[in-house]
């Protein structure tokens, strides 16, 4: 028994911000952003919070999978930008779509979040506990970037993407792994909250660590190393060769990272599905948004072998080989 992706979906805020728009906010240029990252534009929320993006994605998934909300067993949302500390986005989605029989929760693994969430859903389904799940990555990163820091604010965008998965006897997830290297946690952080209370003398000052802080070069090195090794291990464990892969859907963080990964793995660049030019880095939403586009374009057929792979804060990584 395995777990199969039956439907994909995505939703992004309507407002599109180009690199030229960014150049009006910070000292940057379309040329710098395009050459260093491959990003041309990104969707930025004009008020919709993360739950709105997640709910719209969930509704699309139900519609495309032809399921009623009451039939859903499990809802897992990956995010680092939830509306609240509690309730979880999962519970907010459950209420809005009316999935009264589901159990719902969130997980946090930054840009690897969708891979972690899908891995968890897969275990619940493979062990027979649940028959199906809605798995979503959703982010409004625009609320946690420092809009005066040109080295980070140009990189990120808002959006959500997801998959409806269910028990399958044939095609589905063939092999997967998730991993973490906590000793590197401080090369990419966001959302730090200080322990301030009436019984200590911490001052009421803004916390600079609330915003995305990143050592870009170290993240770049980690990304290329961890993803290459992870994809190699997954292929080896599955007994599948790189030539058999129809598409790789990588985390959309930087086209140069993907160039390195493609060269090291010996998988041609054309097989890497990219849409970073239109979305920027949407963290946990990036892989499912790209997968949904690939699916909507009809570029994958039943039985095609597809790799989903990503890396992110933590530091974390995750790779999945699926038979579509």
The torsion angle over the Cα atoms of residues 35, 311, 141 and 5, rounded to 10 degrees, is 110
Among 19, 56, 60, 254, binds ligand COA (CB under 6 A): 254
Partner residues linked to 175 by β-bridges: 321
Cβ 94 to ligand COA, closest distance in Å? 28
Q: What is the per-residue binding string for ligand COA in 24-53, x denoting contact by CB under 6 A?
A: ----x---xx--xx----------------
Is residue 141 within 8 Å of residue 285, measured between CB atoms? no
Among 105, 210, 220, 324, binds ligand COA (CB under 6 A): 220
Cβ 40 to ligand COA, closest distance in Å? 14
Buried b (16+ CB within 10 A) or exposed e, 193-212: eeeeeeeeeeeeeeeeebbb
| Paired tokens of 214 | 């990143």
Among 59, 216, 240, 271, binds ligand COA (CB under 6 A): 216
Catalytic residue selected from 19, 281, 292, 295: 281
Q: Does 297 bind ligand COA (CB under 6 A)?
A: no
Q: Does 312 bind ligand COA (CB under 6 A)?
A: yes
Q: What is the per-residue binding string for ligand COA in 277-296, x denoting contact by CB under 6 A?
A: ----x---------------
91 included as an active-site residue: no
Among 99, 134, 154, 265, binds ligand COA (CB under 6 A): 154
> Closest-CB residue for ligand COA?
216
Partner residues linked to 133 by β-bridges: 165
Q: Does 148 bind ligand COA (CB under 6 A)?
A: no
195 included as an active-site residue: no
For tokens 């140069």, what's the residue? 256
For tokens 């609320």, what's the residue? 143
Query: 81-120: which residues touch ligand COA (CB under 6 A)?
Result: 111
56 included as an active-site residue: no
Of the pair 36, 143, the CB lying nearest ligand COA is at 36
Residues 6+ apart with CB under 8 A from 22: 28, 33, 153, 154
Q: Does 203 bind ligand COA (CB under 6 A)?
A: no
CA atoms of 242 and 260, how far apart (whole Å): 16
| Paired tokens of 295 | 């699916």
Catalytic residue selected from 19, 43, 111, 153: 111
| Paired tokens of 159 | 């959006």
CA atoms of 255 and 161, how far apart (whole Å): 20
Is residue 119 within 8 Å of residue 319, measured between CB atoms? no
Is residue 306 within 8 Å of residue 322, measured between CB atoms? yes
Cβ 126 to ligand COA, closest distance in Å? 28
CA atoms of 305 and 196, how far apart (whole Å): 50
Query: 58-77: which residues touch ligand COA (CB under 6 A)?
Result: none
Q: Does 223 bind ligand COA (CB under 6 A)?
A: yes
Q: Catalytic residues, which ones?
A: 111, 251, 281
The site for ligand COA (CB under 6 A) is made up of 28, 32-33, 36-37, 111, 150-151, 154, 188, 214, 216-217, 219-220, 223, 253-254, 257, 281, 312
């Amino acid at each position: 028994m395995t777990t199969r992706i039956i439907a994909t979906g995505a939703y992004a805020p309507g407002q599109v911000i180009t690199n030229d728009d960014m150049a009006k906010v910070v000292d940057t240029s379309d040329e710098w952003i395009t050459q260093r990252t491959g990003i041309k534009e990104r969707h930025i929320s004009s008020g919709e919070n993360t739950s709105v993006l997640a709910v719209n994605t969930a509704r699309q998934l139900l519609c495309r999978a032809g399921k009623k909300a009451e039939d859903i067993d499990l809802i897992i949302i990956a995010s680092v930008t939830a509306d609240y500390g509690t309730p979880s986005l999962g519970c907010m989605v459950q209420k809005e779509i009316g999935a009264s029989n589901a159990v719902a929760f969130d997980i946090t693994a930054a840009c690897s979040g969708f891979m972690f969430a899908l891995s968890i859903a897969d275990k619940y389904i493979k062990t027979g506990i649940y028959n199906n799940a809605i798995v979503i990555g959703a982010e409004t990163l625009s609320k946690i970037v420092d809009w005066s820091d040109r080295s980070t604010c140009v990189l990120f965008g808002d959006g959500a993407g997801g998959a409806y998965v269910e028990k399958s006897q044939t095609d589905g997830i063939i092999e997967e792994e998730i991993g973490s290297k906590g000793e590197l946690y401080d090369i990419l952080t966001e959302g730090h909250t200080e322990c301030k209370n009436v019984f200590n003398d911490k001052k009421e000052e803004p916390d600079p660590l609330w915003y995305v802080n990143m050592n870009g070069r170290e993240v770049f090195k980690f990304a290329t190393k961890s993803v290459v090794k992870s994809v190699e291990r997954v292929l080896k464990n599955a007994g599948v060769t790189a030539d058999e892969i129809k598409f790789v859907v990588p985390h959309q963080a930087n086209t140069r990272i993907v160039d390195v990964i493609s060269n090291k793995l010996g998988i041609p660049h054309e097989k890497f599905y990219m849409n970073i030019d239109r979305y920027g880095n949407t963290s946990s939403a990036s892989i499912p948004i790209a997968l949904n586009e690939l699916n909507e374009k009809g570029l994958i057929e039943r039985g095609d072998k597809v790799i989903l792979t990503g890396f992110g804060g933590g530091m974390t990584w995750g790779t999945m080989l699926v038979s579509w």
